[in-house]
Structure 1
């Protein structure tokens, strides 16, 4: 049996404008991306221009962040806390009602399941911490040109915050990107993606009923169980076409004006 290394996690304190928000359990990589992604996902910043500096003190386990806008901790913590589902749960201050008020996604880009499965395999091959330990989560951006960016962490929410933070720092346009994750797409995971504006979200595992309901309301496409040659399309925003089965492939070709597809349907 092949021995794998142990996944690592560190307690890291996030300090905003001199006020300690909380101590988070994080994998000690891409911490600046996580800062931007977490602050954006929680509505504390609107973009990279709101952050003056990020001082990472790894040995002390401190992330000291200075924002250009004033930060009112009493106002933030007066909001009702919502504990995230699953292992390593965190806290979010966005309720489902809040998420429903996010902007609906408008994107005409379409993708095939074969393309998503190909990128999911590429994502897996470019996840070094998972390959080393077998116990890490990952999040992946698929860019317009087909290239990918991957971030990993002990927590699935942290990994998504890291990849969102990367996109924010690079000022990428969300509606032209695809988000892939190794974790379950729960309502709070969907809220992070919706806040940024992703049009398509894919996962190697399931989506929850609440997440799918929100995705339909916000016009976001959600695809689960991206494994091998299988996938489940949970939504019907028209951005994903099923080219995995002969009939689905033929119908897709017919829609695209390929007459020879009729032979497959007969």
Structure 2
């Protein structure tokens, strides 16, 4: 398949009230959403009202954020940094211990697994940057009416921050939303979703053992390998029920397992 162009990535400096947080490799689309999402995910803001202005300065490749209230940069920088794994490498100031202090999810929403598979297929068709370049990650939300909003970036963490930023800016209720991502669900990805309050997270690939453990602790449903006619439900929060044929969990997890099961579409 011939692609029209290569995926873009740029080193962009994030500055908050004059404090340089870090330089991030980002795709230059929806940067304002990314700023809101990253700052919210890292606990630097609590709502959209905390931000007065976001301005991107092309010449210095700086994303300048002005907060409504004073920003204690020294306190933030005194915390230990954790560098994220994978493409578009970023930095988080939350450890697994910190994430365990987040509020547990109470949503009563329920979805059939076939619905998530259908929406995952739609997500793929709506990922325009990926279709153009073949080298982008994506994240999307699905609302109660089934409407989808997609954000894309060279990095999976960045894509999730962008969609969270969209949610924060539009003051959306996380309990009514499904989060889908193309990337592996690691503990940092899980922490971002948990901070906003998503009850259901789906991915086209795997979740790490640490992410699944955190998801169980925080009562979040995680579904992986949403591909074509199969999926893996890693958790048991009861929000995603299988209307597919189930096969042995040992096929994926071996003898020990981590509590998931493989589900496949029943064949006529």
TM-score between the two structures when normalised by the length of structure 1: 0.90
Match of 1:94, SS state, is: coil
Structure-1 residue corresponding to 2:257:
none
Structure-2 residue corresponding to 1:163:
163
- Residues 85-96 of structure 1 mapped to structure 2, 5 A cutoff: 85-96=85-96
Looking at structure 1, the residues matched to 193 and 74 of structure 2 have their Cα atoms a distance apart, in angstroms, of: 26
Looking at structure 1, the residues matched to 21 and 225 of structure 2 have their Cα atoms a distance apart, in angstroms, of: 35
CA contact under 8 A between 1:4 and 1:134: conserved in structure 2?
A: no
Q: Which ranges in structure 2 are unaligned for 5 or more consecutive residues?
A: 248-265
Looking at structure 2, the residues matched to 43 and 29 of structure 1 have their Cα atoms a distance apart, in angstroms, of: 23
Looking at structure 2, the residues matched to 75 and 96 of structure 1 have their Cα atoms a distance apart, in angstroms, of: 19
- Residues 84-163 of structure 1 mapped to structure 2, 5 A cutoff: 84-163=84-163
CA contact under 8 A between 2:143 and 2:176: conserved in structure 1?
A: yes
Change (3 A) 1:126 1:79: same
Structure-2 residue corresponding to 1:185:
185
Match of 1:69, SS state, is: coil
Q: Which ranges in structure 1 are unaligned for 5 or more consecutive residues?
A: 248-263
Match of 2:236, SS state, is: coil
1:59, distance to aligned residue in structure 2 (A) = 4.3
1:216 aligns with 2:186: no
Encode CA deviations 1:142-190: one digit per residue, 9 max, x unaligned: 0111000000000000000000000000000001100000000000000
Looking at structure 1, the residues matched to 21 and 201 of structure 2 have their Cα atoms a distance apart, in angstroms, of: 29
1:246, distance to aligned residue in structure 2 (A) = 8.2
Structure-2 residue corresponding to 1:260:
none
Looking at structure 2, the residues matched to 218 and 3 of structure 1 have their Cα atoms a distance apart, in angstroms, of: 41
Greater percentage in helix: 1
TM-score between the two structures when normalised by the length of structure 2: 0.90
When Rg is computed on C-alpha atoms for both structures, the one with the higher figure is 1
Looking at structure 2, the residues matched to 44 and 69 of structure 1 have their Cα atoms a distance apart, in angstroms, of: 11
CA contact under 8 A between 2:88 and 2:157: conserved in structure 1?
A: no
CA contact under 8 A between 1:140 and 1:163: conserved in structure 2?
A: yes
1:83 aligns with 2:83: yes
Structure-1 residue corresponding to 2:13:
13
1:8, distance to aligned residue in structure 2 (A) = 0.5
CA contact under 8 A between 2:24 and 2:88: conserved in structure 1?
A: no
Encode CA deviations 1:101-150: one digit per residue, 9 max, x unaligned: 00000011100111001100111000010001110000000011100000
Structure-2 residue corresponding to 1:69:
69
1:88, distance to aligned residue in structure 2 (A) = 3.0
